[in-house]
Amino acid sequence: MITKPKGTKDIHGKDARKWQYIEEIVSNVLDKYNYTLIRTPLFEASDLFHRGVGETTDIVSKETYDFIDRGNRNMTLRPEGTAGVVRSFIENKMYGDNLPQKLFYIGPMYRYERPQKGRYREFYQFGMELLGSDDPIGDAEVISAAYNIYKMLGLEKLKVNINSLGDSESRKDYHKALVEYLKPHINELCDDCKERYQKNPLRVLDCKVDRDSDILKKAPTPLDYLNKESKERFEKVCEYLDMLKVPYEVNPRLVRGLDYYNHTVFEIDDTAKDMGSQNTIGAGGRYNGLVKLLDGPDTPCMGFAAGIDRVMVALDAEEIDLDVNDDVDLFLMYVNDEEKSYALYLCQELRLAGFRVDTDYLGRSLKAQFKQADRLKAKYTIVLNSKDLDNNEVKIKNNKTKEEEIISIDALIYYLDENLEDECDCGDDCHCGDDCHCHDHK
Ligand code: ATP
Ligand code: MG
């Protein structure tokens, strides 16, 4: 038997509906923020990530899936979404009068990692990118949008950590101070950090091994080296977040693993006990240098990416049962051939009218069809019979109350519309359609 590759998973059944639900919330919320969907290729030229994410990052140095295609080109499965979005922004000339660009994506990413709970080789992210604005309202908007999406999904135990790396001048000063501080301690750091110290010392702060060591706890932080403008800018972001009522904590030691960040960086953790060590459910920041680095016009940007797999773990850890509807509205049963073809026809009519309808495909006995209707949690059932059909009637049964009514087939859509509408007990007189804003369905 062929099995799935290590670090991947099949998403199916009720779980698949949960994923769809999350993706719908993400799309709906970001639509209200006026972000539009962008789909970029799952593989790109390896150079894009080498330059865009950075040679010295863990992602590029250890985690990419690289391959040479049949035309001898070096390709990489995308390990993250931002580099591809920025490549597309430049290639499609989305700048000039079109700024700002507000884009979001949802899709799989690939990293060759040691698989564990909340860490996979194929995992899903949603992310948003605000390209073309350097205003701190953009920073606050992206952080609050991320926070609001998690809240909409029902997550409560959220911790927003933010920090500022400052502009390039501040970063340079900090870099110098950090190198001086770490110099006498190099031998006490892990092997990876010894290398990071040489190639990109800032990344030492991000080390999962050394993070809690005394050396790093006492290390200078980027906040100590912010120049006046960077400091004022960071204060503005915090002020806006206060106004938006996003609870956050300034974490002076937070840096991000990617090369292209400056000014604001942030991470959102879920602090539920059962999260395990993979408790960061999303992260982002400002990356004013990236577009230029990839040969585009100098364009300030702010973005965020969330791990959907980890959101799923967080929902479990917080014991949140998403309000996914996997019930069938109506199950149609039949016995003879004439009824079968009518079932097929009626299924189509009702499905096109917006109802979730199912029927028998296995030539089951009526008794077994009733069982199947229960298994599918059918709200209504109809046993088609030739005599009723001749009279243009059906007998419809409410599977919960067991009440039966004979109604005209012409009135079936109206009947279902009226009766299924009452399902929602939000009290807001809602219709539970796609755009339902009632409390239960937010
Ligand atoms: P970590 O420190 O956990 O490795 P990261 O800094 O590498 O995370 P980012 O590149 O910032 O992660 O990606 C954004 C989000 O994507 C993370 O906060 C996390 O929720 C999710 N994520 C990253 N890598 C994985 C993975 N291998 N499996 C599942 N989710 C992941
Ligand atoms: Mg990682």
Pocket of ligand 1 (CB under 6 A): 80, 111, 113, 118-120, 123, 125, 257, 278, 280-283, 305, 307, 309-310
Q: Is residue 405 part of a domain?
A: yes
Q: Is residue 3 part of a domain?
A: no
The total of other beta-carbon atoms located within 10 Å of residue 116's CB is 11
Ligand 1, pocket-test mutation among 9, 119, 121, most atoms within 8 A of CB: 119
| Nearest ligand, CA 79 | 1
Same domain as 186, residue 154: no
Instruction: Tokens for 97, please give them.
Output: 């009068």
Same domain as 312, residue 291: yes
Measured from the Cα of 278, ligand 1's closest atom is 3
Q: Is residue 324 part of a domain?
A: no
Q: Locate tokens 């080109």: which residue?
A: 73
Give the bridge partners for 122, in sequence order. 110
Q: Is residue 247 part of a domain?
A: yes
Q: Which of these, 135, 71, 143, 139, lies nearest to 99 by C-alpha position? A: 135
Q: Which pLDDT value is given to residue 257?
A: 62
For residue 323, give Cα distances in angstroms to 270, 310, 386.
20, 18, 39
Final residue of a domain: which of 317, 339, 366? Answer: 317
The model's pLDDT over 219-267, given as tens digits with 9 standing for 90+, comes to 999 999 999 999 999 999 999 999 999 999 999 999 876 667 899 999 9
Q: 417-434 burial, b if ≥16 CB within 10 A, otherwise e?
A: eeebeeebeeeeebebee
The CATH code of the domain that includes 30 is 3.30.930.10
Q: Is residue 425 part of a domain?
A: yes
Ligand 1, pocket-test mutation among 56, 120, 123, 255, most atoms within 8 A of CB: 123
Same domain as 346, residue 214: no
At 176, phi and psi to the nearest 5? -60, -45
Same domain as 125, residue 70: yes
Extract the residue ranges of the chain whose pLDDT is less than 50: 429, 431, 433-435, 437-442
Same domain as 63, residue 21: yes
Q: Which pLDDT value is given to residue 260?
A: 72
The CATH code of the domain that includes 404 is 3.40.50.800
Same domain as 120, residue 17: yes
Q: Which pLDDT value is given to residue 431?
A: 47
Same domain as 293, residue 146: yes
Tally of structural domains, the chain: 3
Same domain as 114, residue 242: yes
Q: Is residue 145 part of a domain?
A: yes
* DSSP designation for 66: E
Dist. CA 120 → ligand 2 center (Å)? 10
Ligand 1, pocket-test mutation among 280, 281, 286, most atoms within 8 A of CB: 280
Q: Which of these, 96, 142, 131, 88, lies nearest to 301 by C-alpha position? A: 131
Instruction: Tokens for 17, please give them.
Output: 């509906």
Ligand 1, pocket-test mutation among 117, 310, 315, most atoms within 8 A of CB: 310
Same domain as 266, residue 305: yes
Tallying the residues shown for the chain, one arrives at 442
Q: Which domain holds residue 196?
A: 175-219
The residue type of 123 is F
Final residue of a domain: which of 317, 351, 379? Answer: 317
Q: Is residue 243 part of a domain?
A: yes
| Nearest ligand, CA 83 | 1
The total of other beta-carbon atoms located within 10 Å of residue 229's CB is 13
Same domain as 151, residue 57: yes
Measured from the Cα of 119, ligand 1's closest atom is 28
Same domain as 270, residue 379: no
Final residue of a domain: which of 317, 347, 370? Answer: 317
Same domain as 277, residue 258: yes
Residues 6+ away with beta carbon under 8 Å from 63: 79, 111, 112, 113
CB 221 within 8 A of CB 253: yes
Dist. CA 118 → ligand 2 center (Å)? 11
Q: Is residue 7 part of a domain?
A: no
For residue 135, give Cα distances in angstroms to 93, 138, 168, 293.
22, 6, 17, 21
3-class SS letters over 333-384: ECCCHHHHHHHHHHHHHHHHCCCCEEECCCCCCHHHHHHHHHHCCCCEEEEC
Q: Which pLDDT value is given to residue 104?
A: 98
| Nearest ligand, CA 111 | 1
Measured from the Cα of 284, ligand 1's closest atom is 11
| Nearest ligand, CA 280 | 1
Q: Is residue 280 exposed (0-12), middle (13-18) or buried (19+ Cβ within 10 Å)?
A: middle
The model's pLDDT over 92-118, given as tens digits with 9 standing for 90+, comes to 999 999 999 999 999 999 999 999 999
